Amino acid sequence: MELRNIAIIAHVDHGKTTLVDELLKQSGVYRENERVQERAMDSGDIEKERGITILAKATSIEWKGHRINIVDTPGHADFGGEVERILSMVDGAIVLVDAAEGPMPQTKFVVGKALKVGLKPIVAINKIDRPDGRHEEVVNEVFDLFAALDANDEQLDFPILYGSGRGGWMADVPEQPENSSLEPLLDLVLKHVPKPSVGEGPFRMIGTLLESNNFLGRMITGRIHSGSIKPNQAVKVLAQDGKTVETGRISKILAFRGLERTTLEEAHAGDIVAIAGLQKGTVADTYCDPSISEALTAQPIDPPTVTMSFIVNDSPYAGTEGDKVTSRVIRDRLFKEAEGNVALKIEEAEDKDSFYVSGRGELQLAVLIETMRREGFEFAVSRPRVVFHKGENGERLEPVEEVVIDVDEEHSGVVVQKMNERKGDMLELKPSGGNRVRLVFHAPTRGLIGYQSELMTDTKGTAIMNRLFHDYVPYKGDIGGRTQGVLISNDQGESVSFALFNLEDRGPMIIGAGVKVYQGMIIGIHMRENDLEVNVLKGKKLTNMRASGKDEAVKLTTPQAMSLERALSWIQDDELVEVTPKTIRLRKIHLDPIDRKRLAKSKSDG
């Protein structure tokens, strides 16, 4: 059976996973009476809740005597490390573009990588039935994008299809034909995507995805570069520098067939398979016959731009809600994560109780934190900081991102003003239809930390912001931080409605009544710039005198809930987010007010 290997790449929410659903349905993967799950490829709990793809996943379908291996890739730039590795496994790519939004930053990022490794793309204009669709302009924008990314003549001569992934059809024209299906897309894949290029010699394969299986142990997915492999065959693992990592035997070979994994007795060059039986080999290593001495070259991965500290929890409530609290178990979990996620970098601090975790963006780190807390971990994390580099002349370089903000015209002024305050340079302002404008900026990553929630407030929730790492540039100077102080609990206990009610004129609360608090924990936002210690445990004085209004219930304003992402971006350098399986709390690093004053005094003296 002939093979074709393709990736589906697009910006977040442009319909990649939904299109894969329809391809699986129409190629006969499901039985007629089988209950079909929506977005079947998004298997993780967080993926299902957020409606985004975080981990790349492979599947395959049979079509007209061919096997088509399909890889569904993430749409967020924060998970770009996944996409970069995937592209080495495939020979073609379907670039999915929204008929209304057009090519967005993530499209640009992934397409740039795909063109660089020589893939010939198929462009599919999705969601053609949107009332605000503008497919002709979008096709021109895609062509301009390809040209700007130095595509060669062959890549610029890309085929175009129009359709709706959710509707389950694609066609050469924007109008839906009578007998509509995804057949034109699948036929085009067979015609346009070349057969897998196969190397000479014995078995070789680059590890692309790493996962852990309860029964089979470590499993490595990749495309076989040359030769063939059978169970119980001896293999060795080579690092990128050619050193032997380990030798061992393959216990099992699994192939992706629809949503199932099938055991194979033999796999050949060009196929995408998962192998089990090795203990140390990881992503970007070469798995090969023992006679091979040179490793295959893996795609380079862009460096991390944001770092934060993961610290052992030392609050008064430490260990009361989570069962994984020690530095050893946190360390093992972080290093295990870094094995399979090459975009993450973990360093142990000198005190052994904290770890520096660097990644592509706040979202990637927030997803890691959320995953760990669901597994029972309890720890504290610091505010995200950017990773600075040193230039050739010793100058300080910082990461700058390309920011695209789609917003209603009436709110564009405040967006431009806020981005200027954050040292953002405006590159473009153009109408994007329906009284909306598209603003494009180059802004330092430092200035964007915490801006998402502020943008939502400024634009009444109508803005859509997309970010993409652009380059390292000379340091742009100081950027102002949070303008408000915080309200801090001065004692340990449970918050009381009466105390919270009397503090409401000081600023909005972030906790409600009956919440466990401790000294140094942040319970609200102060109206002024300074921090203020308050008593939230103070109940109403009881007397034996009746008074009018005495028995009235206290009506509290609903507290401002702090989601994990908002908390991470909102805190200052002297604050932490305490994360447990049940609760997210905000606190000062130094819980004792005397320690905080002493530290503030030493800073002002210094």
Q: What are phi and psi of 310, to 5 degrees?
A: -100, 120
Q: What is the pLDDT of residues 232-250, one digit of tens each?
A: 999 999 988 888 888 999 9
In a domain, 253, yes or no: yes
Average pLDDT estimate for 569-581? 90
Q: Residue 437 forms beta bridges with which residues?
A: 407, 431
CA distance 603 to 606: 5
Q: Which residues are annotated as a binding site?
A: 13-18, 126-129
CB contact at 8 A, 87 and 109:
no
CA distance 123 to 59: 21
Collapse the DSSP code of 360 into the 3-class scheme (helix H, G, I; strand E, B; otherwise coil) and give the result: coil
Q: What local confidence, expressed as pLDDT, does residue 303 receive?
A: 75
Give one word for 201, left, alpha or beta, with left for phi > 0 and alpha for psi -120 to 50: left
Q: Is the predicted pLDDT of residue 510 greater than 80, yes or no?
A: yes
- Same-domain pairing of 183 and 231: no
- Same-domain pairing of 409 and 509: no
- Same-domain pairing of 526 and 454: no
In a domain, 546, yes or no: no
In a domain, 70, yes or no: yes
- Same-domain pairing of 404 and 268: no
Indicate the helix (H) or strand (E) that contains 95: strand 92-98
- Per DSSP, helices labelled H in 194-274 are none
In a domain, 337, yes or no: no
CB contact at 8 A, 93 and 113:
no
Collapse the DSSP code of 312 into the 3-class scheme (helix H, G, I; strand E, B; otherwise coil) and give the result: strand
Q: What local confidence, expressed as pLDDT, does residue 494 receive?
A: 92
CA distance 280 to 206: 14
Q: What is the pLDDT of residues 119-135, one digit of tens each?
A: 889 999 998 988 888 88
Q: What local confidence, expressed as pLDDT, does residue 36 receive?
A: 45
Tokens of 38: 């929506």
What's the residue count for the chain? 606
**Number of helices and strands (H, E) in the chain?**
15, 35
Q: What local confidence, expressed as pLDDT, does residue 44 receive?
A: 52
**Three-class DSSP labels, 303-360:** CCCEEEEEEECCCCCCCCCCCECCHHHHHHHHHHHHHHCCCCEEEECCCCCEEEEEEC
CA distance 318 to 313: 6
For the chain, percent of residues with pLDDT exceeding 70: 89
CATH number of 64's domain = 3.40.50.300
In a domain, 95, yes or no: yes
Average pLDDT estimate for 170-198? 88
Tokens of 179: 């007998």
Instruction: Sort strands 306-312 and 267-268 into parallel, antiparallel or unpaired.
Output: unpaired
Q: What local confidence, expressed as pLDDT, does residue 389 receive?
A: 87
- Label residue 339 exposed, middle or buried (CB < 10 Å: 0-12, 13-18, 19+): middle
Q: Is the predicted pLDDT of residue 552 greater than 60, yes or no?
A: no
Instruction: Read off the pLDDT band of 178 (50, 70, 90).
Output: confident
- Same-domain pairing of 231 and 180: no
CA distance 287 to 74: 25
**Cβ neighbours of residue 387 closer than 8 Å, sequence gap 6 or more:** 303, 304, 305, 306, 307, 358, 399
What is the DSSP secondary-structure string of 377-418? B-EEE---EE--EE-TTS-EEEEEEEEEEEEEGGGHHHHHHH
The last residue of one of the domains, among 254, 288, 322, is 288
In a domain, 141, yes or no: yes
Q: What is the pLDDT of residues 386-442, one digit of tens each?
A: 888 888 888 889 989 888 888 888 999 999 999 998 899 999 888 876 788 889 999
Q: What local confidence, expressed as pLDDT, does residue 34 receive?
A: 45
Q: What local confidence, expressed as pLDDT, does residue 328 receive?
A: 92
Q: What is the pLDDT of residues 49-93, one digit of tens each?
A: 554 544 556 788 888 888 888 887 765 554 555 566 777 788 888
- Same-domain pairing of 233 and 280: yes
Average pLDDT estimate for 157-174? 89
- Same-domain pairing of 116 and 244: no
Of the two residues 224 and 552, the one the predictor is more confident about is 224
Tokens of 452: 């998402």
CA distance 218 to 397: 39
Give the number of domains in the chain: 4
Tokens of 52: 């985004």
Q: What are phi and psi of 51, to 5 degrees?
A: 70, 30
Collapse the DSSP code of 94 into the 3-class scheme (helix H, G, I; strand E, B; otherwise coil) and give the result: strand
- Same-domain pairing of 174 and 226: no
- Same-domain pairing of 8 and 151: yes
Q: Is the predicted pLDDT of residue 47 greater than 50, yes or no?
A: no
CATH number of 425's domain = 3.30.70.240
In single-letter form, the type of residue at position 534 comes to: V
Q: What local confidence, expressed as pLDDT, does residue 606 receive?
A: 60
Instruction: Read off the pLDDT band of 33 (50, 70, 90).
Output: very low
The last residue of one of the domains, among 439, 474, 509, is 474
Q: What local confidence, expressed as pLDDT, does residue 106 receive?
A: 67
Of the two residues 27 and 473, the one the predictor is more confident about is 473
CA distance 74 to 60: 18
| 521 DSSP assignment | B
Q: What local confidence, expressed as pLDDT, does residue 219 receive?
A: 85
Q: Is the predicted pLDDT of residue 551 greater than 50, yes or no?
A: no
In a domain, 57, yes or no: yes
- Same-domain pairing of 225 and 95: no
Q: What is the pLDDT of residues 349-390, one digit of tens each?
A: 887 788 999 987 777 788 889 889 999 999 999 988 888 888
CB contact at 8 A, 224 and 271:
yes
CA distance 170 to 174: 9
CATH number of 237's domain = 2.40.30.10
In a domain, 213, yes or no: yes
CATH number of 513's domain = 2.40.50.250
For the chain, percent of residues with pLDDT exceeding 90: 26
Average pLDDT value for the chain: 83
Instruction: Read off the pLDDT band of 32 (50, 70, 90).
Output: very low
- Same-domain pairing of 448 and 520: no
Q: What is the number of other CB atoms lying within 10 angstroms of the CB of residue 268? A: 16
Q: Which residues are annotated as a binding site for GTP?
A: 13-18, 126-129
Q: What local confidence, expressed as pLDDT, does residue 12 receive?
A: 66
Produce one character per residue of 559-576: b if its CB has 16 or more CB atoms within 10 Å, e if not: beebebbbbbbbbeeebb
- Label residue 394 exposed, middle or buried (CB < 10 Å: 0-12, 13-18, 19+): exposed
Q: What is the pLDDT of residues 248-263, one digit of tens each?
A: 999 999 888 776 788 9
CB contact at 8 A, 331 and 378:
no
**Listed residue (266, 273, 207, 342) closest to 5, CA to CA:** 273
Q: What local confidence, expressed as pLDDT, does residue 200 receive?
A: 86
CB contact at 8 A, 56 and 71:
yes
Q: Residue 94 forms beta bridges with which residues?
A: 8, 122
Residues spanned by the domain of 132 = 2-192
The last residue of one of the domains, among 151, 171, 192, is 192
Collapse the DSSP code of 488 into the 3-class scheme (helix H, G, I; strand E, B; otherwise coil) and give the result: strand
Q: Is the predicted pLDDT of residue 542 greater than 80, yes or no?
A: no
What is the DSSP secondary-structure string of 41-68? T--SHHHHHHT---S-EEEEEEETTEEE
- Same-domain pairing of 517 and 462: no
Instruction: Read off the pLDDT band of 544 (50, 70, 90).
Output: low
